Amino acid sequence: MPQAPQTQQQVYEAVRDRIRESDADITNFSPNSPERALTDDGFAGAFRALEHAKLAVQLSGWIAYAGGPITEDDLTDLGIDPDVVDLDLLNSLMEDADLDALAARNSVTRDPGTYATGTIQITTASETTTVDAGFRVTTDPPDALAFETTADVTPDAGATTVTAPIQALARGADHNVGSGTIQTMPSPPPGVEGVTNPTATTGGENPETNAEFRERAQAAIVQNSGGGTTGGIEGGLASRFDGVDLGDVIVDEHRNASPPNADVIVNGGPSDSEVQAAIDELRPSAVEHTLVRPTLVTIDVDVDLAGTGVDTDAVEAAVTQYLAGLGLGEDVIRDKLIQNVMNADGDIDSIDSLTVSDSSGTVSDDRAVADQAIAEPGTVTAVV
């Protein structure tokens, strides 16, 4: 078990007592004395920081804690009193690289995220202007997001506008920006008079968080041990088949049945026979596990927007992407729909109405989804 750090007071008192027991002629440890400052704020404070560093090193050896963030509940589970730990200090010492190194032992690497892409329309001084790849454009300051063109472009004969493909310079979903938001040129090349993006940029995804990465790495460890457990079956299927994540697999055990058995709900993957063969390989030998495909819950969304120049295609794509990304048993959250709509285009002033419906009719609140079901996008319509 990891060792809890001593408090600064404990360290100070231990040092003070040892000095008093020594032959040193140091006896004044009053609050404002130099001796107190050196032993308490000086040595004891530095030693306590080192003990936090030692705890961080110990935790880096556990995949459940490597990389952090460490919480009070984590400390309690480890038998450490949260009151003696400076969590801000401890988490500042946790390194993502430690989790990466542990996961790499099981051939699992972090998803770095993806770059958003799109197009810009460039206005030129003449039809002979050539704009080279690498031309940088941004959204408005102060929080400017940078993109660059990925191909050389020249207007057609008689034209002074040309469309160029662009890619974000950094990975992340924040670079999925609405139409008309990329209009700044930090260093315009000769002959270029203006730019804009007629459609939203899409495809940007954030790097995998420690929590997401840790879940995959733990599943791989269980899977590499040969299956035989619920986690082994879920992790084994997620690792074996492209397009199947941990959120796409649920093992529903019926322990009180005679004989005991289990349903394995799997969303995606290859044919039923291939998935069932993998389940048979991973399951405990004495317990029958049967593949069950999830019930599809089709969700239709109609949204009425207020604004000028709103890219309704981008709004529809954002809502569709949210619904398509839900896993088994994940509810359709109305606030998430609203968030995705508003983030899709900066020209949206407000949402006049948002109607969500399924096969039974209009859904006025969140739409609960059963464990053996999964939501899928149906007809998504955005109008202004």
Edge-to-edge strand order for the sheet containing 249-254? 249-254, 261-266, 288-292
E-only strand ranges, 174-275: 182-184, 192-196, 249-254, 261-266
The answer to whether the CB of 147 falls within 8 A of the CB of 136 is yes
* pLDDT for res 30: 73
325-349: b (≥16 Cβ within 10 Å) or e: ebbbbeebeeeebeebbbbbbbbbe
Indicate the domain borders of the chain: 8-105, 115-196, 225-292, 296-382
Can you read off the two tokens belonging to residue 74?
């984590």
The answer to whether the CB of 219 falls within 8 A of the CB of 235 is yes
Amino acid identity of residue 73, one-letter, is D
* pLDDT for res 227: 52
115-196 fold: Elongation Factor Tu (Ef-tu); domain 3 (2.40.30)
pTM for the complete prediction? 0.53
* pLDDT for res 134: 97
Separation between Cα atoms, residue 234 and residue 265, nearest integer Å: 10
Mind listing the pLDDT tens digit for each residue in 260-281?
899 999 998 899 999 999 898 8
Q: What are the average pLDDT values for consecutive 10-residue runs of the chain, which has 384 residues?
A: 80 80 72 76 83 92 91 92 93 94 85 94 96 97 95 96 98 92 96 95 91 83 60 80 82 87 91 92 82 94 95 93 89 95 92 95 93 92 94
* pLDDT for res 228: 58
